Structure formats: C-alpha cells, structure tokens
Amino acid sequence: MRTPKRKKTPAAKRKRLPKRKPELYKRKDRDELKAELVTLDPSAGHVGRKWFGSQQESFLEDLPIFRLRHAQLMMFDPVVRFGLNVRDAALMAAKITIDGDNQEVTQFLGEQWKTIWGKFGSKILKTKRWGFSGFQVEYSIDNATGNLIVDDLKDFSPYDVRPLKQGNNLIGFRLQKRTTTIRPRSQSEINILRPRGLWTTFDAEQGRNFGRPILRRSFGPWWEKWMDHGYKKTAQLRMMKDAARGDSFTYPPDRLIQLPDGSSLPWRDVVRDIAESSMNGSTLVYPSLFDNEGHELVKYTPPKDTGNPQGIWEWGEKLDRDIWRGCDVFEEVIQASQTGSGYSGRSVPLMMFLQACMLEFSELLQSIDRDILRPLAWLNFGIDPEYQVRPVPLVETFAEATQGSAMGGGAMGGPASAGPEQQGGGIAAIMSGRSGNGNGGF
C-alpha cells in the first residue's frame, strides 16, 4: 500500500523565523556613538553607598547567613587580605593570545588588553570579593590613529549595581545613582549598557549573572576565629590569665581581722583583694594561721594549665590555614621550601592553586571580551571581527618564568632540578617578568 504524498506548503505560508535584532549599540551611527562614549558620563555626580554601619555589627551575636556585609568585615582581617593578595599576584602576570586573520584588529585588541589589565586589573580582580561587579568604561580618541580606546574604568559599590538583561541576553547593568549620603537620599536608577558597562562575575554557574563570593568559602573558619569564645577571645583570655594568675585561696569564714583603728574585716575580703591585685611575677605575703587541731586556716593554691598550653596557638594557626585554603591558597605555595620537602608535595598544591586562579581569569577574560574588546573592534573597524582570544595557562607561564627551578621542575611535572642556584621560583618568579610573551601573546 502506497503512502500518500504530502502536499507542499506554499512558500508564502511557510513560517519564517524572526530576524535577530542587532545589539542596541549597533543601531546607532558609529561616529555618533563614539562621540557619545567619549563625552557623556551617565553616572556623573554619583556618590557610593556607605558600606559599613553600626547596625551591621549586631551580626556578631550569632552566626548569620553570609551576606555582603560579612565580606566587608572579613577584609579587615590581614590573613584574609593576604590570601587574596597571593591570588592577585599570580593573576596580574596572566597573559592571553589573540588569533585572527586581520592582523591590524588583533594588534589593536592586544594593546587594549594591555591597557585594561595593566592599569585596571587590580579593580577587576576585586570581583571575587563580592561575586559580581559593575564597571563604567571611559573612552577617549587616539589622536594618532583616530581609534576609540579605553581611557578609564570606574567601579561602584556592589550594593548599587545589578545586571541588566534583554530577554536572556546580558546587555549591561543597572546603577542605583545617588547624589548624596544624607537622608532622605536623592537617588535614581540608570542603565549603563555595553560597551559603556562592563559586568564581571566570579564562580558563576548555570549561566547566572551573579557569581559567588570567594570569601564565603572562608567564612566558617573566620567566624570561628572572631566570634565570642572563638580563637581571638580565647587567646586574649589565655594571655590575661598568664598575666594575672587566677589564684585560689582558702580562708576561715568565721574569723575577722582586727585593724589598728579598731575596725574589722572578714578574711574573704582580704584574700579576694590579694588575688585580684596580684599579677604574674608578683610576691604574695599572707599570715600563717592554724586552728587548734593544726589545720592551716589560710591556704594558697597556684593555678594550673590544662596540660596543653600550645593547643590555643595551634588552633589559631589551623584557622588561618583554613582561611587560606578557602581562597585556594595552600601553605606550600607561600612558605619557603625546607630541607627534605618533596617536589611532588610542593608542586602539586602549586599547580592546583594556579588552576584555581586560571578559572577566575578565564571568567573575567570572557566578560572583558564580550563587553569591551568586541564592541571596540566593531566601532573602529566596522566589522564583526573573527578572532579567538584564549588565556595562556598560568602553569605554563610559571614553568617558563621559573626556568626549571627546584619549585618549577623541568616541565611542571618532571623531576626537579638540583643546585643551590636554582632555589627560587614560586609566585615571585612569575612576577619577576623574566618570561616573554611569545607569538600572538599579550
């Protein structure tokens, strides 16, 4: 039995997919948009929101849900700042490669990348503190070439910015513009669109426009360090007990001390005054009194420790290491190598650290390419450029910078080289600038 043939649908009745609309910035004249990006400042007069207030200190009463105000408080801890600075030191040495058919475009974008990362990398790297950031890109005209170039980068409080989407596409961010910090505040919302607006995230997943702050990983040990009855308070109490002994006395409760003026005092008040006034190293003098049966009436018992006096300090060191590990910084990365320390025991944590930094760098590079580099190529050359921008793995950068040192090894995984002249490497070797850019590298 033959299957009947389907009738062909006329071309006029076929359902056509709607054409994709160009991005907002491409709907304007290029010269007009260039002039607007150079001269217009939509956030002029904006005053950043006050981050820290007395009401936020109330969270110390109990462990709350992690919020941005906790991240702000954590930045006062030098251990937290050190862990973040170690990451930033490695990331500032990161490089990229730009491959494309148009050499003029790739060279121009490479120079712009050097400007962005060299001048404003420290601002962009703060994204990981909050999980997201919004930046306003300031542009200027290069007098030599007439090209639009990046001139400045203005950052905002994380409280004041939120991502802006058109459908499912991120097109910029919304800024809560405030012109005063005095209540009642004068504020309004303005949209800062690409390529004026740069939106960056850290550890964002499932296509979300908000990332997750890196400090959330270290919040547990940090809280245990600073909370009531935590390490800081316990260590302070321990030192106070070492300075004031916390002595114990026994006294006769049924007897009084007769003073020369005829008044009397109970023994309880006398021994309490002695105990509270004594400091470590002071001399105690008290009478030797006995009852009719020869029992001592006033007896002094010196304080005793728990038998583990180093336990408190080891607790604090462990909490600091846990805070660093929350930042993906292992102690093997920052400590000097010691005699007998194995190569694999130090290089493996280092490679893990560099790979964690690489994930952060790749996410930031994707945002910068999307919001700045590609729009700049279109504005200056009038085309949608076909190029590929790729991050150079930090492991390769490190291996090249250390040049086969005892830390770096022959090829980051091979046997370590011996010799006292090669006991260098680490993050300092990356920052020393000994490695070259290579072909197409920036």
Q: What is the pLDDT of residues 389-399, one digit of tens each?
A: 999 999 888 87
Q: How high is the pLDDT of residue 159?
A: 92
Cis peptide before 213 (omega within 30 of 0): no
Q: How high is the pLDDT of residue 337?
A: 61
Residues 6+ apart with CB under 8 A from 96: 113, 365, 389, 390, 391, 392, 441, 442
pTM: 0.72
Contact 95, 440 (CB under 8 A): no
Local confidence band at 182 (pLDDT 50, 70, 90 cut-offs)? low
Q: How high is the pLDDT of residue 255?
A: 79
- CA torsion, points 144, 149, 151, 154, in degrees to nearest 10? 170
Nearest CA among 136, 199, 194, 200 for reference residue 376? 194
Distances (CA, A) of 7 to 2, 4, 10: 15, 9, 9
92 or 434: whose pLDDT is higher? 92
pLDDT at 442 over 50: yes
What is the bridge-based pairing of β-strands 197-201 and 132-141? antiparallel
CA distance 294 to 94: 81
Average pLDDT, stretch 302-321?
Answer: 81
What is the bridge-based pairing of β-strands 187-193 and 248-250? unpaired
Local confidence band at 374 (pLDDT 50, 70, 90 cut-offs)? very high
Distances (CA, A) of 83 to 75, 86, 134, 218: 11, 5, 23, 10
Average pLDDT, stretch 49-75?
Answer: 66
Q: How high is the pLDDT of residue 432?
A: 46
Q: What is the DSSP string of 344-359?
A: HHHHHHHHHHHHHHHH
Which of 14-18, 308-312, 354-358, 434-438: highest mean pLDDT?
354-358
Q: How high is the pLDDT of residue 153?
A: 96
39 or 436: whose pLDDT is higher? 39
Q: How high is the pLDDT of residue 420?
A: 37
Mean pLDDT score across all residues of the chain? 79
Q: How high is the pLDDT of residue 286?
A: 65
Contact 172, 160 (CB under 8 A): no
Residues 6+ apart with CB under 8 A from 126: 133, 155
Element (H, E) at 223: helix 219-226
HSE on the CB side for 274, CA within 13 Å? 20
CA distance 25 to 180: 31
Beta strands in 343-405 (DSSP E): 387-391
Q: How high is the pLDDT of residue 279?
A: 58
Local confidence band at 196 (pLDDT 50, 70, 90 cut-offs)? very high
Percent of the chain whose pLDDT exceeds 90? 38
Q: How high is the pLDDT of residue 61?
A: 46
266 or 243: whose pLDDT is higher? 266
Local confidence band at 49 (pLDDT 50, 70, 90 cut-offs)? low
Tell me which of 53-62, 75-84, 361-370 is least confident: 53-62
Percent of the chain whose pLDDT exceeds 70? 72
Q: How high is the pLDDT of residue 293?
A: 79
DSSP 63: -
Which of 238-252, 341-355, 362-376, 413-427: highest mean pLDDT?
362-376
Local confidence band at 200 (pLDDT 50, 70, 90 cut-offs)? very high
Residues 6+ apart with CB under 8 A from 302: 245, 247, 248
CA distance 55 to 46: 24
Q: How high is the pLDDT of residue 184?
A: 58
Beta-sheet strand order (sheet of 132-141)? 148-155, 132-141, 197-201
What count of other Cβ atoms lies within 10 Å of the Cβ of residue 424?
Answer: 16
Distances (CA, A) of 343 to 73, 210, 406: 37, 39, 8
Helix axes 219-226, 311-326, angle to 10 degrees: 150
Q: How high is the pLDDT of residue 108?
A: 95
Q: How high is the pLDDT of residue 229?
A: 84
Q: How high is the pLDDT of residue 437?
A: 46
Distances (CA, A) of 441 to 75, 99, 235, 391: 34, 9, 51, 9
DSSP 373: I
Q: What is the pLDDT of residues 408-433, one digit of tens each?
A: 444 333 444 444 333 444 554 444 44
Average pLDDT, stretch 314-320?
Answer: 91
pLDDT at 172 over 90: yes
Q: What is the pLDDT of residues 93-143, one digit of tens each?
A: 999 999 998 999 999 999 999 999 999 999 999 999 999 999 999 999 999
Cis peptide before 22 (omega within 30 of 0): no
pLDDT at 371 over 80: yes
Average pLDDT, stretch 191-202?
Answer: 95
